[in-house]
Amino acid sequence: MAKKKSPLILVVEDNPNHMRLTCDLLKAKGFRCLQANSCESVFETLAGNRPDLILMDISLKGINGLTIVARLKSDPSTREIPVVIVSAHAMQQDRENAKEAQCDGFIAKPINTRTLAGQIMQVLNNKKGS
Ligand code: MN
């Protein structure tokens, strides 16, 4: 049997340094990465790729990440892709907004390099079981 491909993660992040750090970390943990730094690039990427999970920054240039999530969750073709919010605004209200937007997880910035991979795997495994 063919070896299962490592999970493909779409990282949505507008800060180039955060993007590099996050992708380096994910690759080091055996994930594959796609990158998008704007709303447009998210939908361009999704037109030709099917990530297993999306890591979504909240503060993007000119748009709130949750607005993108709302579009993803209202479209049957992308609704099933789990979304994990990554935010420096780790206030209770932000967590609640993320939950309301049907996000599957919430990670506070700065990203904890020791726990990120485990948090992603947990969401992927939950999704498989549901
Ligand atoms: Mn940002």
Q: What is the pLDDT of residues 39-82, one digit of tens each?
A: 999 999 999 999 999 999 999 999 999 999 999 999 999 999 99
Contact 90, 111 (CB under 8 A): no
Ligand 1 midpoint to CA 10 (Å): 15
Ligand 1 midpoint to CA 13 (Å): 6
Ligand 1 midpoint to CA 59 (Å): 4
pLDDT of residue 77: 96
pTM: 0.92
Residue 109, Ramachandran bin (φ over 0: left; ψ between -120 and 50: alpha; else beta): beta
Ligand 1 midpoint to CA 22 (Å): 13
Q: Look-up: residue for tokens 């998210």?
A: 42
The residue among 57, 43, 47 whose CA lies nearest residue 15 is 57
Q: What is the pLDDT of residues 2-43, one digit of tens each?
A: 567 899 999 999 999 999 999 999 999 999 999 999 999 999
